[in-house]
Amino acid sequence: MTMKRVRDWIILSGTSNAPLAHKIGEKLEKPIGKADIRRFSDGEIFVEIKENVRGRDVYIIQSTCTPVNDSLMELLILIDALKRASAKDINAVIPYYGYSRQDRKVNPRTPISAKLTADLLTAAGATRVVSVDLHAGQIQGFFNIPFDNLFSMPVIYQHIEKTIKPSAGEMVVVSPDAGGVERARNLAKRLDATVAIIDKRRIGPNVAKAMNIIGDVKDRTAIIIDDMIDTAGTLTEAANAVMDFGAKRVIAAATHGVLSGPAVARIQDSRIEKVIVTDTIPLSENAKNCAKIEQLTVAPLLAEAIFRIHHYDSVSSLFT
């Protein structure tokens, strides 16, 4: 008698972004699998999968965010444990891909850490990677396994349209640098808004100085859009420039709220009305208590991607 084998699957979560993992599980109506993840007194990470994964497709949800090295190492160890337990496909769902800003050599004798991270994930045994808004799209080419780079733009757009209720001609989408123009243009098309670009001169690591604005922001609501907010230095300089050039109000939006160092204090003291981020990175208590910071969830987006990947459906519509 021939029996048809049903493809079974399981979702696991690392410790870096468990709240997002549980939201994804709820959307998929699938509980998070059990795994014992702990650290020894010297900082070594130990993982034991408490589920039978032999022949099953596994989706590990783990953002490689602060502490970046611990989160990355934990993900690698989880993948290795699954490979040695004979999991069929190991899908690393990395909402925030750490080291993505080190995607090329910027000076002699410097590393390309995004490529090293890709090599580590592949060597550990990952068979597919899913991420959200890579800092540099070419990172997908660092992998010789399938890579799905999803975009949070629909989530951000729907929230802006619902809460700000923009009127035609009253809004301008601002890119904080030349590299983000395509992102700004995509949002502007949805909002029926114009685009402006800030001419930014970087004077040191995590230090930028806004110099000029290309485009008209006078008497308009300015939406500054970026892929991530780290120390918020670039963002607050951009907000000052936009307001100095006559904008009525400034709202900022970004996928990844890294919010390291003085970021929250800078945002609180800035001329920005609201900062919108997603939950690819969990907010610190300090950020949660900041009235200006609002967090959206990408759980439905990632849940839909996981569902389609598992059922061999097209994921391409999620890229637009």
Residue 276: which H helix or E strand, with range? strand 274-278
Instruction: Give the pLDDT score at 318.
Output: 79
Instruction: Give the pLDDT score at 3.
Output: 44
> pLDDT, tens digit, for every residue of 155-202?
999 999 998 876 666 899 999 988 899 999 999 999 999 999 998 766
**Whole-number Å distance between alpha carbons of 10 and 25:** 10
Is the predicted pLDDT of residue 251 greater than 50, yes or no?
yes
**Whole-number Å distance between alpha carbons of 210 and 188:** 21
**Whole-number Å distance between alpha carbons of 42 and 320:** 45
**Whole-number Å distance between alpha carbons of 14 and 193:** 40
> pLDDT, tens digit, for every residue of 121-139?
999 999 999 999 999 999 9
Q: Please confirm, yes or no, whether 200 is among the known catalytic residues.
A: yes
Is the predicted pLDDT of residue 146 greater than 50, yes or no?
yes
Report pTM: 0.93
Give me the chain's average pLDDT, please: 93
Let me know: does 62 contact 17? Beta carbons within 8 Å: yes
Task: Give first-to-last CA distance, the chain, whole Å.
Answer: 45
| pLDDT class of 4 with cuts at 50, 70, 90 | very low
Catalytic residue (choose from 88, 115, 200, 248): 200
Q: What percent of the chain has pLDDT over 70?
A: 92
The amino acid sitting at 195 is V
Instruction: Give the pLDDT score at 105.
Output: 94
**Whole-number Å distance between alpha carbons of 49 and 194:** 51
| pLDDT class of 212 with cuts at 50, 70, 90 | confident
Is the predicted pLDDT of residue 1 greater than 50, yes or no?
no
